[in-house]
Amino acid sequence: MQSALYVSLSAQVALEKRLETIANNLANMKTAAFRADAVKFETALSRAASQPVAFSTPGENFISRKPGSVTRTENGLDVAVIGNTWMGFTGPAGKVYTRDGRMQISNNGELQTVAGYPVLDAGGTPIIVDPEGGPLTIARNGTISQGTNQVGVLGLFEIPPSARLERFGNSGVIPDRAAAPVIDFLNTGFEQGFVEESNVDALSELTQLITASRAFQSVTSLVEGSEGSMQNAIRSLGEPTKA
């Protein structure tokens, strides 16, 4: 009976984590280039009892790399990232990668993200343009021009598929393995005047939310039933034997 109770409690912990993840995804479904979180669950076997008992682990979050849809903005400082690649910028603790290509130009000409972080070229150096030099033209390979002058090149980076991603802000990621600059732009690059949307599938997330909520309620009922059975057993065993 105790094993059933512990298994149910482990399921509650796992389902609570799943519910929190879904809620966060839905809250960011309108955030540009947001990458949805998913939860990977595993089963932990315990042989402490006479028979092996399977427990649900709390679950491990991972960031989905599935691309979001692309929307035209006609803004020359917006770029959509093509392929499974990323832009780079300098965060408070080092390089951060994102697919949110919305940019701005500071007063001193530094190309920045909308949050004010310096956008990087392929060598990891901040990009400086002429704030009075007119509109920017950004080619597929990231080359930035103002009129007839080339003023910089947007860095495009590839993160190893096996790298674990840590979230930075709403749309940034920090990999645990170094990202490499992209040099082949046949299937990758930039598209000026577009921005990538969140990759959250609202219908799928809502369906999962309903399923997880019902499962949580069912497990809660099972826990309450197990506790009630245990209390009844204790009361029965504790009653004095009549002569």
* Domain assignments of the chain as residue spans, ordered by start: 2-64+200-237, 70-196
pLDDT of residue 40: 67
pLDDT at 14 (0 to 100): 75
Q: Do strands 79-82 and 189-192 pair parallel, antiparallel, or not at all (unpaired)?
A: antiparallel
Rounded distance between C-alpha atoms, residue 44 and residue 38, angstroms: 19
Q: Cα separation of 25 and 119, whole Å?
A: 26
pLDDT of residue 46: 42
Instruction: Determine the pLDDT at residue 218.
Output: 73
pLDDT in tens, the chain (243 residues): 455 555 666 666 777 888 888 999 999 999 999 999 987 655 444 444 444 544 455 567 789 999 999 999 999 999 999 999 999 999 999 999 999 999 999 999 999 999 999 999 999 999 999 999 999 999 999 999 999 999 999 999 999 999 999 999 989 999 999 999 999 999 999 999 999 999 999 888 888 888 877 877 776 776 666 655 556 555 665 555 555
Q: Are 222 and 8 in contact (CB under 8 A)?
A: yes
Neighbours of 94 (CB within 10 A): 9
Three-state SS for the chain is CHHHHHHHHHHHHHHHHHHHHHHHHHHCCCCCCCCCEEEECCEEEECCCCCCEEEECCCEEEECCCCCCEEECCCCCEEEEECCCEEEEEECCEEEEECCCEEEECCCCEEEECCCCEEECCCCCECECCCCCCCCEECCCCEEEECCEEEEECCCEECCCCCCEEEECCCEEEECCCCEECCCCCCCEEEECEEECCCCCHHHHHHHHHHHHHHHHHHHHHHHHHHHHHHHHHHHHHCCCCC
Tokens of 123: 């060598």
Q: For the whole prediction, is pTM greater than 0.85?
A: no
Contact, 107 vs 115, CB < 8 A?
Answer: no
Closest by CA to 39, choosing from 66, 12, 20, 11, is 20
- Give the per-residue pLDDT at 226: 60
